[in-house]
Copies of this chain bind each other. A is one copy, B any other.
Amino acid sequence: MTLVARLQAELGAIVSVEAADLAASRTDKSGWTADGAPLAVVNATTVEHVQCALRLASEFRVPVITRGAGTGLAGGACGTDGSLVLSLAGMNRILEIRPQDELAVVEPGVINQHLNDALAEHGLWFAPDPASKAISTVGGNIATNAGGLLCAKYGVTREAVLALTVVLADGTLLHTGHRTVKGVTGYDLTALLTGSEGTLGVIVEATVRVRAVPLGDTVTVAAVFPDVAAAAAASARITAERLRPAVMELIDPVALAIVGRYLGPERSAGLPLGRGAFLLVQTDGEGAAIEAERVAAVMRDERGEVRVSSDQESGDRLLAIRRAMHPALEQHGTVLIEDVSVPRSRMKEMFDVIAEISARTGIAIPVVAHAGDGNLHPNFVIPADPSGAEGAAIVPDNIWAAADEMFRAALMLGGTLTGEHGVGVLKRRWLRDELGDTSFDLQRRLKAVFDPLGILNPGTMFAAS
């Protein structure tokens, strides 16, 4: 019997070999599509389904690509040729919410926003907030150690994961971590698994730390500056003055012009979006208004044209400018979102490098940055194929060459080639450059402890052997 026949015999209708299901599993939101076709998609709804699939995959030595909502940006969860795709999208129950312990227990397929909706009734929230939160799963957030807009103040996903239940490559169950904030018994496998992109095990349950919604109002302050240098200077001064915004987002002039055209004057919240650079700050907690006042003073001092909003509605209008970035770009083609991160003090230099690469190559590179943590998203827009052919856009070589220059510059500035999207298949070729030989080789040996047969997401992070 083949693997697929065995799976169908043991798992029944949750095993799909429909061409449409196989095709859908080959791509993600990066625009990348894997070659060939996977053998089948297992739509798991229980832990036992996952254990069975892994046991059989081990027996047949077939690669397993674990997949949630398919919203990844690095091609790390795409069904490759001859692989078994394990979809956890159907494991989407919230198992527990414990307000007094500030934790929730969830299955991996729960959508981030759905968890937050359920928590809101208790005055709680789950802090990790990737831009994809409306469509991405908590399991995927954990597998990529997702970032977002709030990390400088509220931490990355790793800080929000207390414990995991994981199915190992051979189908056995591993429990890691604690239901407590503190706990130092043994190695921190919870942290090791967070961000491991499906290469060490399959997360089937997560105990996440949730927080009380801060008391007091959220205040939004936004400004348009003459150029990136002025916006970056304002952002650096906000940090230097010990203000602690929840959100601090910077949009460069190339991107702002595109967003300005997309929104039009009636949705610009009274700001001149057609020129200059944009900086948006949100403060929260009981001191939000005082902090926002100081933020606005710094912005004015750095020649910003400032708008302050303390009501939800006008705050939402300002935030909508930032949120319009991606849809505005998508009007012009497929968007490849890059993801370098540098120490905050080098952010201005990184903007300069990107502008120089853009000028020299003639490739437009609109940039948005999480300025609070030095995480820049330079975007490449790949126009739709004029022949109208279907299928994902192929990233042209000249764009990869420009991205390569950017990655190397980020490393030179003490940064990293991916702040929050992950390595996946798209950044694999640069991994050794950043890690160095000692770490790279050590990491491969660690993977082999978890996955001696090399069946877990081969090709992601490390080249398939």
Contacts and interface: CB of A to CB of B under 8 A. Distances in A.
Interface string A403-422: 00000000000111111111
28 contacts: A100-B345, A101-B343, A144-B184, A145-B184, A151-B182, A173-B438, A175-B438, A178-B414, A178-B415, A180-B375, A181-B375, A182-B341, A182-B420, A183-B341, A183-B419, A184-B418, A184-B421, A185-B427, A186-B443, A188-B191, A188-B194, A192-B192, A215-B242, A216-B287, A442-B450, A445-B449, A446-B446, A449-B449
- Most B CB contacts (10 A, CB to CB) among A182, A191, A244, A442 go to A182
- Most B CB contacts (10 A, CB to CB) among A168, A187, A415, A447 go to A187
A436 interface: yes
A174 B344 CA distance: 24
B240 A100 contact: yes
B179 A415 contact: yes
Nearest to A174: B438
A239 B290 CA distance: 24
| A interface: dominant SS | loop
A376 to B, nearest CB: 11
Interface in A392-443: 414-423, 427, 431, 434-436, 438-440, 442-443
Given A179-B343, A191-B194, 4 more contacts: A172-B438, A175-B436, A188-B194, A212-B242
A353 interface: no
A378 to B, nearest CB: 15
A242 B187 CA distance: 32
Given A180-B342, A242-B215, A244-B212, A186 B423 contact: yes
A343 B101 CA distance: 6
Contacts of A144: 184
Interface stretch (A6-14, A37-45, A85-93, A153-161): A153-161
Interface of A: 98-103, 123, 144-145, 147, 151-152, 155-156, 158-159, 168, 172-176, 178-189, 191-192, 194-196, 200, 212-216, 236, 239-240, 242-244, 285-287, 290-291, 341-345, 370, 372-375, 414-423, 427, 431, 434-436, 438-440, 442-443, 445-447, 449-450, 461
Copies in the complex: 2
A185 B421 contact: no
Contact of A159 (B101, B155, B168, B180): B155
- Most B CB contacts (10 A, CB to CB) among A123, A180, A370 go to A180
Contact of A343 (B180, B200, B375, B450): B180
A180 B373 contact: yes
Given A184-B144, A191-B191, A100 B344 contact: yes
B181 A187 contact: no
